[in-house]
Amino acid sequence: MHADRVDKLLMLLGFLGAVGDGIAMPTMLLITSKIMNNIGDSDSNSPLAMNDFIDKMNQNAVNLCYMAIGIWVACFLEGYCWARTAERQASRLRSTYLKAVLRQEVAYFDLNVTSTAEIIASVSSDSLVIQEVISEKVPMFVNNFSIFGGAYIVAFILLWKLAIVGLPFILLLVIPGLIYGRVLMSLSRKIREEYNKAGNVAEQAISSIRTVYSFVGENKTITEYSDALQGTVKLGLKQGLAKGIAIGSNGVVFAVWSFLSWYGSRLVMYHGAKGGTVFAVGAAIAIGGLSLGSALSNVKYFSDAMAASQRIREVIKRVPEIDSDNMDGEILQEVSGEVEFKGVNFAYPSRPDSVIFKDFSLKVPAGKTVALVGGSGSGKSTVIALLQRFYDTQGGEICVDGVRIDKLQLKWLRSQMGLVSQEPALFATTIKENILFGKEDATMEEVIEAAKASNAHNFISQLPQAYDTQVISTISSFSTNVN
């Protein structure tokens, strides 16, 4: 989804490298069988036979040298190309995903996101899962399948009778890997859910740290976090047990090897087979089966990456009802500032049964200062939210200078407003950059004038670096004054 031509070329070269790396082992077994057979057939009493033996061994040595060079090239392509394209694609994925998140309307966050931890987890962990699969699991999967295919091709080329007998034993070698992958897939999904619960506890406590301190709730928070982690401990123990059983069951390869050794000896004694060939075929069958099991166990990682990709893709492809990227709409050449609410009906999407406005009307003349007074939850902040088009009304209309705001270009509409909320916040950058968020192309003189207008200039000037002071926790306590 996020691959360009360079990435497709890197994936092609990485695929070829993984295949080359995979077939190296079966090729090594093929050459090893020839070396062992040459040693077994050598006759030290015949000078002619000895010279022929030396020539064959020299040729095998040359073949191994060529093979070493080929493996080096294949492994380099496998490691570099997949890692490089994974980094490139994951970088684009993170940028695209964050842009899509910032594009969504406020109602989306009210209805679909329980906390900011979910967004942070999707930006970081989900993209890391996808990056890890592309950089490591895909080449390992291709590599293991190449070993499996190459091993059985070599086995049938060398001694098809033994290869056919050993073919059913693939199931014994594959089943542990399949069980391990399937069990781990289920457990990893449950562990992720448990960690999300624990993460929500920590995120809520840290984001409301003043409240926690004021109620002396540190120990209670620690207890809740510890209780939330108990589920992951139990699942982790099950995961370890499944992993131990799966890895331990790989010992069945020795049983398979013993049978192939016995049957191979019968072929040597009665059918003219050679010992080196029997050894190579037995090793190929065992290694091929184990490699297939390892390849199939990687399926769980593909499943996790596909689930993460699905979550990210849903956000990227979602077109919000109030689209801040939509550049359609009117732009007024002159703005006097008259605001009028006409028969507005509204209820928050997350609380549709709780009506905030019913046939609400208000007219604010241009240049006038108006105070909205009312109890908590009466809709004072909602007026501003509707005026900025964070939400659309369920009835009635809101006009600026006689034009309905849903007919105006959204970015332009919001750029005409300046808002200082009751809980101001500063971003982790300089004070100057924080002020420039209101007007990115403002000059330094305009920045100073804005600070003077908000009675913050004298305070800022007393800071060690004035407007270039970096906003950190010690300055956050003065955020109200600066705003």
Asked if 409 contacts 420 with a C-beta cutoff of 8 angstroms, the reply is no
Work out the pLDDT band at 475, boundaries 50, 70, 90. very low
334 vs 60, higher pLDDT: 334
* Lowest-confidence pick of 37-46, 137-146, 357-366: 37-46
Number of domains in the chain: 3
User: Is there a single domain that holds both residue 378 and residue 453?
Assistant: no
Asked if 340 contacts 362 with a C-beta cutoff of 8 angstroms, the reply is yes
Work out the pLDDT band at 302, boundaries 50, 70, 90. confident
What is d(CA 152, CA 289) in angstroms, rounded to the nearest whole number? 9
User: Is there a single domain that holds both residue 406 and residue 442?
Assistant: no
Residue 297: pLDDT over 80: no
Mean predicted confidence (pLDDT) in 9-35 = 88
Work out the pLDDT band at 236, boundaries 50, 70, 90. confident
What is d(CA 147, CA 25) in angstroms, rounded to the nearest whole number? 7
What is d(CA 425, CA 437) in angstroms, rounded to the nearest whole number? 12
User: Is there a single domain that holds both residue 211 and residue 124?
Assistant: yes
Work out the pLDDT band at 479, boundaries 50, 70, 90. very low
Mean predicted confidence (pLDDT) in 373-401 = 85
* Average pLDDT of the residues of the chain: 80
* Lowest-confidence pick of 14-23, 57-66, 118-127: 118-127
Residue 7: pLDDT over 80: yes
Task: Classify burial at 441, counting beta carbons within 10 Å of its beta carbon; exposed 0-12, middle 13-18, buried 19 or more.
Answer: exposed
pLDDT digits (tens, 9 = 90+) for 68-127: 888 899 889 988 999 999 888 888 888 888 888 888 888 777 776 555 556 666 677 778
Decide if 156 is inside a domain: yes
Give the pair of three-digit tokens for residue 363.
Answer: 């007219």
Closest CA to 412 of 479, 326, 340, 477: 326
User: Is there a single domain that holds both residue 300 and residue 361?
Assistant: no
Decide if 40 is inside a domain: yes
User: Is there a single domain that holds both residue 145 and residue 189?
Assistant: yes
Mean predicted confidence (pLDDT) in 168-196 = 73
Asked if 1 contacts 88 with a C-beta cutoff of 8 angstroms, the reply is no
User: Is there a single domain that holds both residue 344 and residue 274?
Assistant: no
| Residue-number span of the structural domain to which 435 is assigned | 431-482
C-alpha to C-alpha distances, 319 to 113, 127, 196, 316, 394, nearest whole angstrom: 17, 21, 27, 8, 20
User: Is there a single domain that holds both residue 254 and residue 392?
Assistant: no
73 vs 206, higher pLDDT: 73
Predicted local distance difference test score (pLDDT) of residue 96: 84
What is d(CA 216, CA 237) in angstroms, rounded to the nearest whole number? 34
Decide if 43 is inside a domain: yes
Asked if 360 contacts 387 with a C-beta cutoff of 8 angstroms, the reply is no
pLDDT digits (tens, 9 = 90+) for 423-464: 667 777 888 888 887 777 888 888 888 888 888 888 888 888
Mean predicted confidence (pLDDT) in 118-145 = 81
What is d(CA 289, CA 167) in angstroms, rounded to the nearest whole number? 9
Predicted local distance difference test score (pLDDT) of residue 135: 87
User: Is there a single domain that holds both residue 280 and residue 380?
Assistant: no
What is d(CA 70, CA 144) in angstroms, rounded to the nearest whole number? 18
Decide if 327 is inside a domain: no
Q: What are phi and psi of 430, to 5 degrees?
A: -75, 165
Decide if 169 is inside a domain: yes
Residue 482: pLDDT over 60: no
Q: What are phi and psi of 345, to 5 degrees?
A: -115, 135
User: Is there a single domain that holds both residue 162 and residue 54?
Assistant: yes
What is d(CA 2, CA 283) in angstroms, rounded to the nearest whole number? 41
| DSSP strand pairing (355-364 vs 403-404) | unpaired
What is d(CA 82, CA 139) in angstroms, rounded to the nearest whole number? 7
User: 3-state SS string over the chain?
Assistant: CCCCHHHHHHHHHHHHHHHHHHHHHHHHHHHHHHHHHHHHHCCCCCHHHHHHHHHHHHHHHHHHHHHHHHHHHHHHHHHHHHHHHHHHHHHHHHHHHHHHHHHCCHHHHHHHCCCHHHHHHHHHHHHHHHHHHHHHHHHHHHHHHHHHHHHHHHHHHHCHHHHHHHHHHHHHHHHHHHHHHHHHHHHHHHHHHHHHHHHHHHHHHHHCHHHHHHCCCHHHHHHHHHHHHHHHHHHHHHHHHHHHHHHHHHHHHHHHHHHHHHHHHHHHHHHCCCHHHHHHHHHHHHHHHHHHHHHHHCHHHHHHHHHHHHHHHHHHHCCCCCCCCCCCCECCCCCCCCEEEEEEEEECCCCCCCEEEEEEEEEECCCCCCCCCCCCCCCHHHHHHHHCCCCCCCEEEEEECCEEHHHECHHHHHHCCCCCCCCCCCCCCEHHHHHHCCCCCCCHHHHHHHHHHCCCHHHHHCCCCHHHCECCHHHHCCHHHHC
Token pair 């732009």: residue: 331
User: Is there a single domain that holds both residue 133 and residue 230?
Assistant: yes
Predicted local distance difference test score (pLDDT) of residue 460: 86
Token pair 């070599």: residue: 154
Mean predicted confidence (pLDDT) in 321-335 = 81
CATH code of the domain containing 386: 3.40.50.300
Predicted local distance difference test score (pLDDT) of residue 113: 58
Decide if 67 is inside a domain: yes
C-alpha to C-alpha distances, 8 to 18, 65, 92, 127, 188, nearest whole angstrom: 15, 31, 15, 19, 30
Predicted local distance difference test score (pLDDT) of residue 44: 58
Alpha-carbon torsion angle 457, 461, 464, 466, nearest 10? 60
Residues paired with 341 in a beta bridge: 362, 398
Q: What is the pTM of this model?
A: 0.67
What is d(CA 302, CA 295) in angstroms, rounded to the nearest whole number? 11
User: Is there a single domain that holds both residue 134 and residue 207?
Assistant: yes
Decide if 12 is inside a domain: yes
Residues 6+ apart with CB under 8 A from 376: none
Residue 32: pLDDT over 60: yes
Predicted local distance difference test score (pLDDT) of residue 12: 93
What is d(CA 257, CA 287) in angstroms, rounded to the nearest whole number? 10
Decide if 332 is inside a domain: no
User: Is there a single domain that holds both residue 185 and residue 272?
Assistant: yes
Predicted local distance difference test score (pLDDT) of residue 16: 93
